[in-house]
Amino acid sequence: MFAGQRVAVASPQGRFDARDVDGRRLDRVEAYGKHWFAWFDGDVVVHVHLGLFGKWATFLDVVPLPRDTVRMRWTGPSATIDLVGPTACAVGNPSLYESVVARLGPDPLRPDAERERFVSRVSRSKQSVGQLLMDQSVVAGVGNVYRAEALFVRGVSPERAGRDVGDIEAAEIWKVLVTMLRAGVKSGQIVTVARKERPPLSPADGKINYVYKRDRCLRCASPIRRWDMAGRWCYACPTCQPR
DNA sequence: CGTATATGGATAC
DNA sequence: TATCCCTATACGT
């Protein structure tokens, strides 16, 4: 909606300085894992990370006054968008991009992703594979839902140590992540369950999972185990993902 | 009106 | 490991 156009950028909360980017022309946007970057003329970069609560709101005709929770507002010729509740929202230069990307592992969605970096990191670690998948320096873009669902598809218990998972299974997990994340991009929402496994009467919002937030396994109906793993709920099927 | 919850992450010890 | 930050919504009283 904004590519190639001049964008008025405002900081209603005053929590970042919009002066360096306000009125510039947007060249392109890019995602790297869960991080999002917008590149403007003059090598100005805007970095956004939505975190748990972040959201964009789009206004195509009637534009309300910004609520007091609006962190950043973009106004262009055809649309206005508001950013609310992000973990990160900052204006900088290409070195900001470089410093963020430097602490990220490979992103399975990117064509240049180095799968072997992920595989060797997992297969050498004594940490649990469940924690490794949530570590953005191991793999960028995976969160609590994809962790639960990808490990389920490979039949791997989140509690197994990375080095016990090994090279072969780690590479298989990577492959599942590539497929799942691409399905999400294509459909605009998280899709983890294969079409042929989706129940005929699935919810209207399409949110079907194998184990995440479920009481019973979609495949075998075993009661799902849920426990706290480093501060996040972890879900697994005790039957399909033996320890 | 309170409390709990959520696809996340930085920082202090 | 603990604590804090960010926001909206659902649910109980």
Of the listed ranges A31-35, A45-49, A53-57, A195-199, the least confidently predicted one is A195-199
The token duo for A3 is 């590519």
- A231 contact to strand C (CB, 7 A limit): yes
Distance of A42 CA from B5 C1′ (whole Å): 42
Q: Tell me what pLDDT residue A205 has.
A: 77
CA–CA dist A144, A97 (Å, integer): 25
- A62 contact to strand C (CB, 7 A limit): no
Q: Tell me what pLDDT residue A200 has.
A: 86
Q: Tell me what pLDDT residue A36 has.
A: 98
CA–CA dist A202, A195 (Å, integer): 11
Mean pLDDT calculated for residue range A108-126:
97
List the one residue out of A118, A190, A128 whose CA is nearest residue A159: A128
Distance of A220 CA from C2 C1′ (whole Å): 37
List the one residue out of A37, A50, A41, A141 whose CA is nearest residue A96: A37
Q: Is the pLDDT of residue A207 over 90?
A: no
| Half-sphere exposure of residue A43: CA atoms within 13 angstroms, side-chain side | 6
Q: Is the pLDDT of residue A48 over 90?
A: yes
Segment holding A123, helix H or strand E: helix A115-123
Distance of A232 CA from B4 C1′ (whole Å): 15
Phi, psi angle pair for A122, to nearest 5° = -70, -50
- A69 contact to strand C (CB, 7 A limit): yes
Give the predicted TM-score (pTM) of the model. Answer: 0.96
Q: How would residue A199 be classed by pLDDT, with cut points 50, 70 and 90?
A: confident
Q: Tell me what pLDDT residue A131 has.
A: 97
Q: How would residue A138 be classed by pLDDT, with cut points 50, 70 and 90?
A: very high
Each residue's pLDDT tens digit, A91-100: 999 999 999 9
- Residue A57: CB atoms within 10 Å: 14
- A216 contact to strand C (CB, 7 A limit): no
- A239 contact to strand C (CB, 7 A limit): no
In this prediction, what percent of chain A has a pLDDT beyond 70? 100
The token duo for A142 is 């995976």
Q: How would residue A146 be classed by pLDDT, with cut points 50, 70 and 90?
A: very high
In this prediction, what percent of chain A has a pLDDT beyond 90? 95
- A102 contact to strand C (CB, 7 A limit): no
Nucleotides in chain B with any atom closer than 7 Å to protein CB: 6-10
Nucleotides in chain C with any atom closer than 7 Å to protein CB: 1-3, 5-8
Q: Tell me what pLDDT residue A214 has.
A: 95
